[in-house]
A and B are shown apart, each in its own frame.
Chain A
Amino acid sequence: MSEGREQILAGIRRALKRGRLDAARETALRERVAAHRRNLVPARATALDDAGRIDLFVAMAEEVQATVARVASPAAVPEEVARYLAAENLPADLVLAPDPSLDDFPWDARPLLRIRRGRAEAGDAVSLTPCFAAIGETGTLMLVSGPGTPKTLNFLPDTHMVVVNIRQVVATYEDGWDRLRSAGAMPRAVNFITGPSRTGDIEQRIELGAHGPRRLHIILVDDRQKAGDGEDE
């Protein structure tokens, strides 16, 4: 293995007609990486105020066949879940991410919802997860894996519901990276999800639900009217 490594590195240096970079150059490159400066960022989302950014996120998400329901408070989330499942003619069984951010919703108010907490298994039809951030520029959800957010919830079930608080809506992917870096070590997986699963592999015709979820339902908690609600996701 290390023989291949030395061969490849030597081959690269030979082709570039130099030896290993000197210490000064390597330091400069490390600094470039550590600084991780943003390149040009499109103005599409950054030029907007908070409200505009949220509206952009919703519009872009709906454009790619995600559905978005705005609710006025976290307390309304279980009600929206029940409503959506009934409207889509889906059984009231769902698997919830075991993440603490979902603990405090009043699930007890919806006793007909059969909820399991954990990762997704083969037979699960519906999942509900939180997200890490929501990217306005393309209506993209940013989800990260962790003990409370197993990745299988995002891909195995046919229907994936995501709870987004408006405070999680950021303008750009770079904003998402910044939040991720502040949150600590890199997770195993970061999923940028833009609409439900799809394929165009047959005659260029877009069909939803190739292998991942056929339905992506975003529950946007917009509790801007509530003063003093300091809960951060």
Chain B
Amino acid sequence: MLATSSTFEANARAGLANPILQRALALMQSGFPERRRLAVERLPEFEALRDIGKSIKDHTLKHLDFYLELFEANVIASGGQVHWASTADEARAAVLQICRSVDAKVVTKGKSMIAEEIGLNGYLEQNGITPVETDLGEYIIQLRHEPPSHLIAPAIHLMKEQVADTFRAQHRSLDPARSLAEARQLCDEARAVLRPQFLAADVGITGANFLVAETGSSIIVTNEGNGDLTQTLPRVHIVMTSLEKLVPTLEDAATLLRLLARSATGQEFSAYTTMSTGPRRAGDLDGPEQYHVVLLDNGRSALLGGEFQDMLRCIRCSACMNHCPVYAAVGGHAYGWVYSGPMGAVLTPSLIGIAEAGHLPNASTFCGRCESVCPVKIPLPKMMRYWRERQFAEKLNPPVYRAALSLWAWMARRPILYHAIVELFSRALGWAGRDRARFRTLPLANGWTAVRDMPAPEGRSFHSLWSEQQKDRTGK
């Protein structure tokens, strides 16, 4: 997917100025966090499970090569095939080759962020194959030619009127006089329109929330049932996934599954949690004839053993962005790529480079709420800071900012000078603001005073007052 992360500031401004988006974000804020809170309250073991989930992932990452080989052996033993793709190009090529081998015309897709990452839909279209998104949110944005704006609810930025407009514009064979005022009607229409596509598809592509090394299985966690229709009806099932989705055993998967739905939507368990292992068996009446796993690296193995390894624990629940005040202000599209919110701020620079994605780890107050709700305890603010360190080392920050910072640090290491300057500023600003005790404008502080007043200092620095007070005490 093409990135627009470098224009984050303009993207953010557009998001802030978009009243429909703001309404949608307000809905999100009043929904997900409260539901998660209730689900967590209801499971006394939740906090303990977070620690266990973290350690399962850490263990797996530390031995990822072993578990990948075990996974592959079990996929093959159950009649499936594994395609190892170092790069996005290799992954796309693998998918195309599989589609060509069965002369595929139509491909249905369950939700896959990996497929977004590698720009699979556009590539298939270029090669004469029609991809059809079947997750309702993904279908809507496919019709609108928009990227997803959220990890699990891709169309969360839209209100139902916009969805209705899109359906009217795209479903032209349907009665124009029909009502699409209610979400119910929109869902029913999507169901009816997509059902024939499910049945016509030659290939079905799903993502994977987890891969289980013990059995060579892939697990998808959905609510709609589209993922299941996608992987059952066509002749070929392709699992698009990445290295770090692996867990060792079914029991490990169960632990992480207990964390996932609760963290994502506040559900106890999703409507459909499906484990698939290989193609149809002899005697099965349905199911795909072929089962392929495309394992994508695309920069993930390079994160192992380094500062960002913890990011590979991510189970793609979206809790971080659901609780992020910056995401809630600007929406997912502002981040400019597949992954948004705090997890996007950490992952995106490692996949597309810090030069392109530099704003993302900077547009954070480090409030820490993301880390506090992450089911696998990823220290997101810390890793955003690591990105800032890399930028600083590579001199990627604006020069004025670096200069101001250097000056501040220089002064802070010279206490006598520092105190004199602080006293000077507090007197000067205190005097300048003596009537109103605040400034509507202040030179060099336009970023602040454009939208809020600056309270004036009290007129003397604490240290100067304290010294005087100490002198008075000892002097008398």
A–B direct contact (CB < 8 Å): yes
Binding site for B on A (CB under 8 A): 1-2, 4-5, 7-9, 11-13, 15-17, 20-21, 25-26, 29-30, 32-33, 36-40, 42-44, 60, 63-64, 98, 118-120, 122, 137-140, 145-147, 150-152, 154-156, 172-174, 177, 186-205, 207, 209-213
Q: Are A204 and B278 in contact (CB under 8 A)?
A: no
- Per CB-CB distance, the 3 closest pairs between chain A and chain B, nearest first, are A212-B225, A210-B224, A147-B283
Q: A15-B304, A207-B184 are in contact. Are A173 and B63 (CB under 8 A)?
A: no
- Whether A199 and B232, one on each chain, are in contact in the complex, defined by CB atoms closer than 8 angstroms, is no
Is B204 part of the contact surface with A, judged by Cβ < 8 Å? no
Question: Of B90, B252, B274, which one neighbours A189 at CB under 8 angstroms?
Answer: B274
B146 interface residue per 8 A CB criterion: no
Q: Closest CB of chain B to A110's CB: distance in Å? A: 24
Q: Which of A36, A189, A190, A202 contacts B186 (CB 8 A)?
A: A202
Q: Among A30, A64, A119, A200, which residue has the most Cβ atoms of chain B within 10 A?
A: A200
**Does B215 count as interface, using CB distance less than 8 angstroms?**
yes
Q: A4-B90, A155-B228, A207-B187 are in contact. List 14 more A-B contacts (CB 8 A).
A: A7-B297, A12-B65, A32-B248, A36-B249, A39-B252, A64-B267, A147-B283, A151-B228, A151-B286, A188-B280, A189-B275, A198-B271, A207-B184, A210-B224
Most chain-B CB neighbours within 10 Å: which of A9, A122, A146, A203?
A203
When C-beta atoms are compared, the residue in chain B nearest to A29 turns out to be B66
Chain B CB count within 10 A is highest, among A13, A42, A151, for A151
Do B68 and A9 touch (CB < 8 A)? yes
B159 at the interface (CB under 8 A from A): yes
Residues of the A chain whose Cβ atoms lie less than 8 Å from the Cβ of B28: 204
Q: Are B63 and A190 in contact (CB under 8 A)?
A: no
With contact pairs A4-B90, A138-B268, A188-B279 given, residues A209 and B273 touching in the complex (Cβ less than 8 Å): no
Closest to B225 in A: A212
Q: Which of B2-10, B194-202, B356-364, B411-419 contacts A (4 or more CB under 8 A)?
A: B194-202
Q: A39-B251, A205-B183 are in contact. Are A122 and B224 (CB under 8 A)?
A: no
Contact A119 B254 (CB under 8 A): no
The number of chain B residues with a CB under 8 A from chain A is 106
Determine, out of B133-141, B171-179, B324-332, B437-445, the stretch whose residues face the partner at the interface. B133-141
Provide the bound-state CA to CA distance between A199 and B179, in Å.
Answer: 20
Report chain A residues within 8 Å CB of B122.
none
Shortest distance from the beta carbon of A181 to any chain B beta carbon, whole Å: 8
| CB contact between A5 and one of B27, B84, B267, B286 (< 8 Å): that residue | B84
CA distance A199 to B227 in the complex (A): 13
Instruction: Determine how close the nearest CB of chain B comes to the CB of A214; give it in whole angstroms.
Output: 9
Nearest-Cβ distance from residue A25 to partner chain B, whole angstroms: 8
Question: Contact between A16 and B62 (Cβ–Cβ < 8 Å)?
Answer: yes
User: Once the chains bind, are B286 and A152 in contact (CB under 8 Å)?
Assistant: yes
Contact present for B85 and A40 (CB under 8 Å): no
Q: What is the CA–CA distance of A172 and B415 in the complex, to the nearest angstrom?
A: 63
Closest residue of chain A to B232 (Cβ to Cβ) is: A151
Shortest Cβ distance from residue B317 to the other chain A in the assembled complex, whole angstroms: 15
A118/B285 in contact, CB under 8 A: yes
Please report the C-alpha to C-alpha distance between residue A199 and residue B162 in the assembled complex, in whole angstroms: 17
With contacts A40-B255, A188-B284, A194-B268 taken as known, whether A4 is within 8 angstroms of B302 at the C-beta atoms is no
| A212 with B224: CB separation less than 8 A | yes
B58 within 8 A of A: no
Is B214 in contact with A199, judged by CB distance below 8 angstroms? Answer: no
B187 near A199 with CB under 8 A, answer yes
CB proximity of B94 to chain A, nearest CB, Å? 8
Q: A98-B285, A212-B271 are in contact. Are A8 and B301 (CB under 8 A)?
A: yes
B208 within 8 A of A: no
B258 is an interface residue with CB less than 8 A from chain A: yes
Tell me if B70 counts as interface (CB < 8 A to partner A): yes
Residues from chain A with Cβ under 8 Å of B213 in the complex: 33
A192 touches B269 (CB 8 A): yes
Q: Which residue of A is nearest B231, CB measured?
A: A189
For A9, the chain B residues whose CB sits under 8 A away are: 65, 68-69
Q: How far is the CA of A210 from the CA of B186 in the complex (A)?
A: 10
Q: Does B24 make an interface contact (CB < 8 A)?
A: yes
Q: Is B257 in contact with chain A by the CB < 8 A criterion?
A: yes
Query: 27 A–B contact pairs at CB < 8 A?
Result: A4-B84, A8-B295, A9-B69, A11-B302, A15-B301, A15-B304, A16-B62, A16-B64, A17-B305, A30-B70, A36-B249, A40-B48, A44-B43, A151-B287, A186-B78, A186-B215, A188-B281, A191-B273, A193-B271, A193-B272, A199-B224, A201-B137, A203-B183, A207-B183, A211-B198, A212-B225, A212-B229
The residues of A that contact B232 with a CB separation of less than 8 Å are: 151-152, 155, 189
B270 at the interface (CB under 8 A from A): yes
Give the distance in Å from the alpha carbon of A196 to the alpha carbon of B222 in the complex.
12
Nearest to B276 among chain A residues (CB) is: A189
A33 vs B253: C-alpha distance when bound (angstroms): 12
CB within 8 A of B27: which of A198, A199, A204?
A204
**Contact A194:B255 (CB < 8 A) given known A26-B66, A202-B187, A211-B224:** no
With contacts A33-B248, A194-B268, A197-B272 taken as known, whether A210 is within 8 angstroms of B83 at the C-beta atoms is: no
Residue B243, interface by CB 8 Å: yes
Structural contact, B45 and A146, CB atoms closer than 8 A: no
C-alpha gap A1/B44 in the complex (Å): 46
Q: How far is the CA of A176 from the CA of B365 in the complex (A)?
A: 44
Q: Roughly how many angstroms separate A152 CA and B234 CA in the complex, as a whole number?
A: 11
Output the nearest chain A residue to B265 by Cβ-Cβ distance: A200
Give CA–CA (A82, B371) in the complex, Å: 52
- Contact, CB under 8 Å: B64 / A12: yes
Q: Which residue of B lies closest to A177 (CB)?
A: B250
* C-alpha gap A2/B194 in the complex (Å): 37
List chain A residues, Cβ under 8 A from B278. Answer: 186, 188
- Which chain B residue lies CB-closest to A193? B272
A37 smallest CB distance to B (angstroms) = 7
Interface residues of B in 332-375 (CB under 8 A from A): none
Among residues of A, the one whose C-beta sits closest to the C-beta of B74 is A186
A204 to B64, Cβ gap below 8 A? no
| Contacting pair A186 B136 (CB below 8 A) | no
- Which of A17, A118, A174, A188 has the most CB atoms of chain B within a 10 A radius of its CB? A188
Chain B residues, Cβ within 8 Å of A7: 84, 86, 297
